[in-house]
Chain A
Amino acid sequence: MSVLVFLENWDGKFKKLSFELISYAAKVAEMLDDKAVVLSIGKVDSSELEKLAAFGASKIISIENDLLKTLDDQAYAGIIAEVAGRSNAKVLILANNNTGKALAPRLSVRLRAGIASGVSKLPLSTDPFTVYKKVYSGKAFAHVTIKTGIKILTLAQNSFDLVESPQSFVLEKMDLQPEAGLMKTNVKDVQKQTGKILISDADIVVSGGRGMKSPENWGPLVELAQLLGAATACSRPVSDEGWRSHDEHTGQTGKIIAPNLYIAIGISGATQHLAGISSSKFIVAINTDKDAPVFEAAQYGIIGDAAKILPKLVEAVKEMKSK
């Protein structure tokens, strides 16, 4: 038996999310007295694959078929289901990102395996198999019991700390073909953002709302983010009005993130906004209105004008860095 974790790669590289997934899988395997097996689909160098062993993978299966260059939900689900069968997987773990959201449900049907998505902690118990997951967009948590022999979990990004537990491992190159005629997704063009820290990957996110008053005022916010190595984000009205780009919008209908630190500047803290950021470890709020609901979600707050406060923060960070 095994705990199988599926990993995607980004131009042949893994990222923190990949290591979170293995750390999590290794811990779940430990609870079940099983081994964690990694499945990587796509072209990845052996040296990159070997990095995975540090987080507790005992076996790494790598499939590099050219036909699998683009994500086709059906074809990928077929391959993963096949590997799950071969490795006698009892628990299957994927990321709760768009790739995991594409594949986990299809696997659930193929393997007749119950699914709990967006888990952020280790299972509460293994018999019955009960996990803890966010519901109502962060306003509550549910204890979900999965009743089938095979269980599927998708792990929320940035919710599980990396655990290094180096293992001796086996690297197996497996040659599996997608079922004939199954590749139905024809990718015509790929547009990648370059040089920008992704909001979903960032440890720190600096975010502005309508209280920033106008798009011209973003300079010091962006400077603060750059100094902190942070990503920039915004509330929905800000992206709706075109002050900032759409991929910066956080909240229920935008990006749902869980950084270590979220700094909300001139954001009132509407429930739909908080739904996207409430899993952040620390929230800082800067707002002129002492009664703004964002202060109820924040651990640190400053009541005051963003235009005056931002330059002071920029100075303080410069000073911190100079020490």
Chain B
Amino acid sequence: MKILVCISHVPDTTTKVKFINESKTLDVNGIQWVINPWDELALTRALELKDDAANGIQTVTVAHVGAATSDPTIRKALAIGADDAIRVNVETTDAYSIASHLADAIRNENFDLILCGIESSDHNGSTVGGMLAEFLGYPSVTGVSSVTFENGVPLIIREIDGGKEILTVNPPLVAVVQKGIAREPRIAAMRGIMMARTKPIKVVEAQGIDCLTEVVGYELPKPRAACKYVNADDAGQLIALLQNEAKVF
């Protein structure tokens, strides 16, 4: 059994975003790049599954579409415990092109379980996982909060509006994971960091870029009106304001 975790490379979640070039480009000055939080949890879960020998997982691989500037992010995933990595060498932000490159790079690698996050915290797309599954012709389950194995078959919990479903899908499959998949992201230990230096990153050159969408500009949210304070001793006044001014009830 082989697991693949697709990782995207995003600004740290506390970053104050700014744009340059007439609001067309993110100002990357001073940005700390991290593994997308969902992907970090997906990787953690993949490694937990591998830790249990009964699951028979041979390798956990990470894949990333991006330029060499993301190599530190990939090394971090290797330090956390992934066995090897694939990077498709191309710069693109269009989900369709990312997914098609990923599919081309892994089509012949026979992964049994592919984990993607529910969204990247940069473009908030929620699309690459499903697209990848469609390009590969694999089934997919979206909104996965738990993956375990039962006799070699993934047992999955899918979150739906107002509840959950417990289901099985025979591999190969793509699981698009969300809250619950792992508790805390696994952190790289010193030994892992040393070992990561020698783990292989296979670089694949991309065959053309096929983008279906383009970001033509960004805008920052309009500043909200200043907060209106109600004195703590007259807290009840708040209800009157919400009723008469905000008209929320």
Contacts and interface: CB of A to CB of B under 8 A. Distances in A.
Interface stretch (B14-22, B72-80, B197-205): B14-22
A154 B118 CA distance: 14
Interface of A: 10, 70-74, 77, 96-99, 101-106, 108-110, 112-118, 130, 133-148, 154, 184-193, 196, 198, 200-201, 203-204, 228, 246, 249, 252-254, 260-261, 271-272, 275, 278, 281-282, 284-285, 295-305, 308-309, 312-313, 315-317, 319-320
A114 B162 contact: no
A70 B167 CA distance: 10
Given A101-B143, A101-B176, A147 B246 contact: no
A108 B127 contact: yes
Contacts of A144: 213-216
A147 B211 contact: yes
Interface in B116-158: 118, 121-131, 133-135, 139-143, 158
Given A114-B96, A185-B141, A282 B212 contact: no
Interface in B193-249: 211-221, 224-225, 227-232, 235-243, 246, 248-249
Contacts of A295: 227
Given A73-B141, A185-B167, A304-B235, A102 B176 contact: yes
A252 B232 contact: no
Nearest to A103: B130
A84 B13 CA distance: 38
Contacts of B214: 144-145, 147
Contacts of B99: 105, 109
Given A101-B130, A118-B126, 14 more contacts: A70-B167, A74-B133, A108-B96, A109-B135, A143-B216, A184-B139, A185-B141, A193-B163, A246-B180, A282-B246, A299-B228, A301-B230, A308-B232, A313-B236
A275 B12 CA distance: 13
Given A77-B134, A104-B130, A261 B217 contact: no
A73 B228 contact: no
B32 interface: no
A98 B143 contact: yes
Nearest 6 Cβ contacts at the A-B interface? A105-B130, A304-B232, A114-B212, A316-B236, A102-B142, A98-B143
A50 to B, nearest CB: 23
Nearest to A310: B235
B132 to A, nearest CB: 8
